[in-house]
Structure 1
Amino acid sequence: MAGQHLKNLITSQERLRDQVAHALRAALIAGELQPGTVYSAPALAADFGISATPVREAMLDLAGEGLVEPVRNKGFRITEVSERDLDQYTELRALIEVPTIGAITASADRRKLEELRPVAEEIVTSARDHDLIRYLDADRRFHLSLLALSGNDRLVETVGDLRKRARLYGLTALAERGLLVASAQEHHELLDLMLAGDAAAAEACMARHLGHVRSLWAESDERAGAVAATAR
């Protein structure tokens, strides 16, 4: 992993611990940190050009999210996510999000829905630009802000946690193949249906969108497997 790349992710705008956690998530997404591999805090700290303490703190934050697991006297192992895990995360999200989208369509202030249009466009633009960090950040803000219109904070918190655990590894290759753009454009379609007041169609769109996200996970897994086989 390129130390200079990690250094570039560190700024003075937020707590060092939070910055490191964000950078580590970015490295996971880009495939720079590999599932099943153990990384030591001192080694990562050297890449960041900082002390090991904030790295350990950030790794503990990621452990709380299920992204890594501590390995005694060695460091932290990047958690591997099985196909069964991904299927279950998708099922849970569908059980929660699909009916919630229908309810929000029937009750939400249309102005609040329209306010999400720039975020939907940011998702599309970042997908086209292969800006994965911005893509995932905009996608997270869109979905959680939309669900927040339900007024149920615990629901939003639960979906946020599911999203963290069902992260995508090696998204870079998918973005370069243009596979993220179609999924990104579905956010505009969803908003159009909700603004039209068509709850049934909005629910169907949300279900289809989650299915496409699961397909991207499968694509990412296949790419990771191919890379591992080549390495061997």
Structure 2
Amino acid sequence: MPAERVRPFMFVAGSDRQKAVVYPLAGPAAGTGEVLVDRAPVRPADSIGDTARGDWNRPVPPTRFLHHYEGWEFDGVSVPEVLRASDSAFEYAMVDIEPLERWSHGRTTLIGDAAHAMYPVGSNGATQSVVDARALAHALALHADPAEAPAAYERERGPAMTALQRANRQLGPEAVISPAHQRAPGGFTDIDEVIPAHERAAISAGYAAAGASDPATVNLGSPYDVPVHALH
């Protein structure tokens, strides 16, 4: 889409019942000025049988969702325009699993969604999989016993990921849209009159801390760098 029709940030609008997420995947292409865009319209299923749990590859026409989003335009971003421009779409259920009692069995362990499947909010599914891999490599470098390393990794990562799974059930950083909708269902012109800046910041900061993406934690560097002596 033309870059000026998307804006260079992640756009989230709606409520805890129905929302739309739109964001660019790259900078403007040379010559055309267009950007590749991803979008995720989210709403309750029309019936229980509409979606299959865990089926992520069910193709549907992009216009299937269009009638639910007519008139959704905010600050120049038109959700119907984005949906009409889509080449393809997939429909899947927003599902997770209860936190597992354990990830590791002897020399075998789980990482990523296999260990802590969570609602896809906050961009944490892939991110935490990468962190898991670093944490597991770190544990393997520090423990000579290959059965102790997965257990150490699980002790380190398990509590934080359980907390993050539960935070995602509450919409993660997107939770800010719920009080905005509840307090101003007819819309607003000044967000500060609806949700003060300190309240918005607290929601964002709380989730960032849960996912270890807050500035203070990030600036400390990775806790999972492999010690040099372990590489020899």
> TM (normalized to structure 1)?
0.32
Q: Higher strand share goes to which structure?
A: 2
Q: Higher helix share goes to which structure?
A: 1
Higher relative contact order (CA 8 A, sep 6+): 1
> TM (normalized to structure 2)?
0.32
Larger Rg: 2
